Amino acid sequence: MKALGAAPHNGILDWLFNWFYNLFLNWNMSEASAAAWASGMNQLIAFLIIVIFIVVTVLFVVLFERRVLGFFQIRHGPNRVGPQGLFQTVADALKLLQKEDIMPLAAEPITYNIAPFAVFVPSILAFVVIPMGAAYVGGSYNVLIVRDLNIGILYLLAVSSVALIGFLMAGWGSNNKYALISAFRNAAQIISYEVPMILAILGVVLVAGSTSMVDIVHSQSVVWNIVPQFVGFLIYLICGLAETNRCPFDLPEAESELVAGFHTEYSGMKFALFFLAEYTNVFVISAIITTLFLGGWKGPMFLGAGGLWLTSIFWFLAKTYIMVTIFVWLRATLPRFRVDHLMGFAWKFLVPVAVVNILVIGLGVAFSHPLYMGSPGNINERLTADARVVALTQLSSSSIYNIMFDSEKVEGPVRIIEGNGTVDFGWINTAYGAMSDDMKTFFWAYNVFAFLFLILILFTVWKVIRGVKRAPKLEVMWSAVSGGEADAKA
């Protein structure tokens, strides 16, 4: 493996690769063909796992949304097909598969037919860089991720932007006015909201010092980003809503204005692809929020080292579904924005706030504020943070801790740490103690400022959600729009 130049700790796939590689070597294959076959097997297995996971997830997210929405809207959701309606989406998909595939005569065949795939594929590609957990496999610490790209978050942004072309193709190819307006709304919306979104992500990247999704998760070993970067979290949440066309940013699919938006003319499985892409995106955005701000798979690992894979996946899914629930909650509560309000909100409010947010985080990073240091920069401590939490939750059974580290026979940068089973926060004190008096003054001033900033933002959010009791006094606009002269004419 090392001979092939693959980086260690690059995910469970590398372990799999090794396993197959050794297997094939045992079968008396040459080294080169064993490597080729192993990588082929690797890709096949990864492909299968990801496809199965995506299909199950999307089917479940659709049902989840409908049931939760039903709960918010004082009604039962679908609960007839299978236990608790679990197979409702399967039944719907089967129904859509059997539908006739209708194409309007005036449609542009090529763009019309490619568009659903151009929308669906990017949403699936996003799964590549989402770390879903961690596991000890064969004694080595692995992250459950398809590829830990070192440009992970940039890759996500690039991939999610590709879907936009699919929307435009659908709008243009359908040769339908509703679809066209919807596609242009969508383009304007996604481009506008990507700006504050990237600014919010920058804060996370600053703290993590890396664009790799795994590094970003590891940087939250001590404090989740949502605490020091709450503003960034909100900005990203809002932009994520806009990016996925979710309420209150569902203008492209505003059924009261544009019937069904860009997929008005689609039927059968092509419609289903748009539909599934939307829900895949909901899950992906929730997963990204989890990774960037909620500490990814981190959490109390109550099953010990052996069950690390289970607990980490559990935490990842729990956090992600909490985000999905918030998405549904917003959909159940809020009305829709208007186009110009939407643009104004992005450029006049979100972008400035995001810039100030970057400034605050940048200062925090520059002056080594404990909250903005990420976890200690040492790779060893990052990697073992999960193990520490395991030990913390199982103080009595220190044997597990020992077993875990005894069994760890990994070469490379991971060093075996002799621990006493407690999480060491000493570095915070050290960092503070090392400050000069001036620095300490700045530290406290900074803390107060950040706190006030947070209050201000929370207040704004509260206002947005709950609103003001009465409408503001109106300008006398009607006299301008229709005045005495029009009366005289009439």
Partner 1 sequence: MSSIEKNSVLERRIDSLLTDEITINFGPQHPSTHGVLRLEAKASGEVITAITPHLGYLHRGVEKNLESKEFLQGIPLLDRCDYLSSMFNSYIMAACVEELTEIEVPRRAEWIRVVAMELNRIASHLLWWGTFCLDLGASSPLLYAFRDREDVIDLLELISGARLLYNYIRPGGVRGDVTPEFMKKLEGFTNRFPPYIDEYEELVTGNAIFIERVTNVGVISKERAVNWALSGPMLRGSGVNWDLRINEPYSAYPEFTFDAAVEEGCDVMARYRVRMMEMRQSNRMLKQAVEGLPEGSHTAKVPTSVRCKKGMTYRRIESPRGELGGFMITDQDKAKKPWRFHLRAPSFANLAAIEEMSKGYMVADMIAILGSIDIVLGDVDR
- Using CB under 8 A, list all residues that contact partner 1: 69, 72-75, 177-178, 181, 247-248, 250-251, 254-257, 259, 331-341, 463-469, 471-472, 474-475, 477-487, 490
| Minimum separation from the CB atom of position 236 to partner 1 (A) | 20
Place of tokens 């913390």: 392
| Minimum separation from the CB atom of position 79 to partner 1 (A) | 16
Closer to partner 1 at the Cβ: 135 or 328?
A: 328
Closer to partner 1 at the Cβ: 95 or 338?
A: 338
Closer to partner 1 at the Cβ: 105 or 477?
A: 477
Closer to partner 1 at the Cβ: 275 or 315?
A: 275
| Minimum separation from the CB atom of position 118 to partner 1 (A) | 25
| Minimum separation from the CB atom of position 61 to partner 1 (A) | 18
Give whole-number Cα distances, 420 to 304, 392, 423, 424, 478, in Å: 16, 9, 9, 10, 74
Quick count: other Cβ atoms within 10 Å of Cβ 62? 23
> What gap in Å lies between CA 119 and CA 279, rounded to an integer?
12
Residues present in the chain in total: 490
Closer to partner 1 at the Cβ: 32 or 477?
A: 477
Closer to partner 1 at the Cβ: 85 or 261?
A: 261
Token reading at 48:
């299968």
Instruction: Determine phi and psi for 136, rounding to 5 degrees.
Output: -95, 110
Closer to partner 1 at the Cβ: 268 or 344?
A: 344
| Minimum separation from the CB atom of position 326 to partner 1 (A) | 15
| Minimum separation from the CB atom of position 168 to partner 1 (A) | 17
| Minimum separation from the CB atom of position 261 to partner 1 (A) | 12
Closer to partner 1 at the Cβ: 438 or 487?
A: 487
Burial of 459 (0-12, 13-18, 19+ CB in 10 A): exposed
The angle at the Cα of 423, spanning 418 to 429, to the nearest 5 degrees, equals 110
| Minimum separation from the CB atom of position 341 to partner 1 (A) | 5
Q: Chain centroid to CA 481: how far?
A: 46
> What gap in Å lies between CA 315 and CA 363, rounded to an integer?
31
The rounded radius of gyration (Å) of the Cα atoms in the chain is 26
Instruction: Determine phi and psi for 249, rounding to 5 degrees.
Output: -110, 30
Closer to partner 1 at the Cβ: 173 or 252?
A: 252
| Minimum separation from the CB atom of position 106 to partner 1 (A) | 15
| Minimum separation from the CB atom of position 193 to partner 1 (A) | 16
Closer to partner 1 at the Cβ: 99 or 177?
A: 177
Closer to partner 1 at the Cβ: 83 or 484?
A: 484
Helices 308-333, 31-72: crossing angle, 10 deg rounding: 40
> What gap in Å lies between CA 133 and CA 299, rounded to an integer?
11
| Minimum separation from the CB atom of position 252 to partner 1 (A) | 12
